Structures are given as structure tokens and as C-alpha cells.
Amino acid sequence: MKRRDFIKASVAGTALLSVPTILTTSCSTPAPKEKNDTPLKLSFQSGTTGKEEYAEKFDVMESLGIEGFEPGGRELLENASKIEAALRGRNIKVSAICAGFDGFILAEDPAVKAEFDSTYRELLAAAGQFGSTGVIMVPAFNHQEPCKAHNQATRDYLVEELAKLGEFALQHNTTVILEPLNRNEAFYLRLVSDAAAICRDCNCAGVKCMGDFWHMQEETSDYAAFMAAGKEYLQHVHMASRGQRRMPGEDGDKDNYVDGFRALKEMGYDKYVSFECGSDGDRAQTVPAAVALLREQWAKA
């Protein structure tokens, strides 16, 4: 090829390559958002409806299409047969179990740690019997003393201990669920991504984590927080208003969950979003209004 022809061919080649780039940046319209059919599975804690009897609680929940029930651990052990009877024939399952054990995993005192080990295992076994997604735990609240130092050795210890619990959980077809809180309550574990990294390092399918929209004031992005855990590690979500921890909607415009919901929908999250909040209003109104708000925002996400 003569030098002049080579230059011509090169120029033509460059032009051909660059044309589509120009077209895509200047002429194309964004692709329409794919329809996402991930359903929103809502769950209530035992106090959410404000009703006393299990039959009453579950009647209200069924009328609102709530599919999960999250009892406290102690409550589950004390009322197992009542709960089982009241759930029979309904389209509601036990979602996660909210704590209810004694002691804590990072206790310095061996007696407190032993108390944790036996009571937490008892809850895992009960969770398994109810087909629950897992038992929620916080490694150490700020007020729990004496606590192991917040250092690398303690993190290694936590991973080892969680992996043992995770194996036990798997034997009972359930999981350990780590809950990050905000710094005022539990400085040890504050971010969903940090909890997810602990799950990864445990290398055990029985160790999972969760996000709580109330505590997620710690996060810079709800979307990024949930995505960091992904479907592999995210096992539960807690829901509350974002100012006073009341029913979603009671804090007005602050109660925007669309960014976090978008992550849950995109990853195909198939576990529960469970109410953990009080209410300043009449629950006969505030509870259905909160459910409607969440469904509306889920549809938007």
C-alpha cells in the first residue's frame, strides 16, 4: 500500500470507528428501565399492630397482606405453641427472630460468653423449627462491658466464633444474622458493608447480615450499603421512619426508601422487610398508611 492510500484508509477507519460513538452520545435515548418483578415481602414485629392476642395481630397482618412475623427470641421460646397454633392455616411465616439471648459474643468474661453460646444456640434451634430465616444478633452494644478490645485479634476471634455458630445454624436450616447499628448504640459494627465483609471472612453460608433503615443513618448511600452485602449475604431488613423511628411516613419527607429499595429490587432480594418501630398516632391508621407508602415507593424504585 502506498503511503497516501494508507493514510486515506486509516482516516476512513478512524471515521468509521468514531461515528457510532458520536451517534450514541448525541442521538440515542436512554434504554427504557427493565420491568422488575421482585416482590416486596413485608413482615411485622410482635408489637407493630398494637394488638395483644396473636389471632388479632395475625388478622390485621393478613388484611394488609403482611407475609412475615418477627417475634423476639424470648417471646418465641415462651409462646412457641401459641404462635404455632395462631399461624396455622394462614399465609404468614416466622421471618427472622429478633435477639432474645443472654450474654454477648464479644464478652471478656468467659461466663457471659458461655451464657451467650448456650442461649443463642437454643434460639437457633427454635428458629429452625419455625423455618425462620435466622436469629438477629449484635456482637456488642456500647453498654455491654467488659468487652473484648476493638482490634484485629478480636475481629479474628469474632470470625472464628461466628463460623462455629454458622455451622450450628446450618444444621438447623437457619442462619446467624449480624445487625449493624448506629454509633450511639453499638460502635463495634455500624455499616452493612462491614457486616458483609465479616460474613465473607467467615466463609460459612450460615453467617449472614442485615440492614436497618433506621440505623442506616450511618451509611452514605442506602443503595451502596445493600449492594455491598448483595443477595449472598443480605438476609433481613428492618424498617422504621427516619427521624423518630416511628411508622414509615410519620417523619414526612425524611421517609424516603426508594434508593435502598432500588438495590433490593435489582439484586432480587427475596427475604423480608420487617417493621421495627413505634407510632405516635392511632395504629389503625398509621400502620395501613405505612404499608401503602412502602408499596408505593417499592413500585417507584
List of residues contacting Mg ion (CB under 5 A): 212, 238, 276
> What are the phi and psi torsion angles at 216 (to 5°)?
-70, 10
- Tell me how far, at minimum, the Cβ of 30 lies from Mg ion, in Å: 37
| Nearer to Mg ion among residue 86 and residue 219 (C-beta) | 219
Report the nearest approach of Mg ion to the CB of residue 154 (Å).
Answer: 23
Q: Is the Cβ of residue 42 or residue 86 nearer to Mg ion in the bound state?
A: 42
Whole-angstrom distance, CA of residue 40 vs CA of residue 298: 7
In the complex, least distance from residue 179 CB atom to Mg ion, rounded to whole angstroms: 6
d(CA 147, CA 72): 24
Closest separation in Å from C-beta 297 to Mg ion: 19
User: With b meaning 16 or more CB within 10 Å and e meaning fewer, what string describes 178-204?
Assistant: bbbbeeeebebbbbbbbbbbbbebbeb
What is the residue-wise DSSP string for 199-256?
Answer: HHHHT-TTEEEEEETTGGGG-S-HHHHHHHHHHHHEEEEEE--SSSS-STTTTGGG--
Q: Which is nearer to Mg ion, 112 or 192 (CB)?
A: 192
Q: Pick the closer one to Mg ion by CB: 45 or 286.
A: 45
Q: Say if residues 128 and 172 touch (Cβ distance below 8 Å).
A: yes
* 45 versus 297: smaller Cβ distance to Mg ion: 45
The conformation of residue 169, written as its DSSP 8-state character, comes to: H
We find the least distance from the C-beta atom of residue 215 to Mg ion, in angstroms, to be 6
Nearer to Mg ion, 163 or 235 (CB): 235
Q: How far is the CB of 136 from Mg ion (least distance, A)?
A: 7
Q: Distance between CA atoms of 69 and 43, rounded to whole angstroms?
A: 5
- What Å distances lie between residue 119 and 50, 95, 103, 122, CA to CA? 28, 19, 8, 5
Q: Is the peptide bond before 139 cis (omega within 30 degrees of 0)?
A: no
Please enumerate in sequence order all residues whose Cβ is within 8 A of that of 232, keeping only pairs 6 or more positions apart, or say none.
Answer: none
Instruction: Write down the least CB distance from residue 33 to Mg ion, Å.
Output: 31
Q: Select 40 or 240, whichever has its Cβ closest to Mg ion.
A: 240
Contact 43, 275 (CB under 8 A): yes
CB of 100 to Mg ion, least distance (A): 13
- Looking at the Cβ atoms of 59 and 218, the one nearer to Mg ion is 218
Sheet with 42-45, side-by-side order of all strands: 93-94, 68-70, 42-45, 273-275, 234-239, 207-212, 176-178, 134-137, 96-98
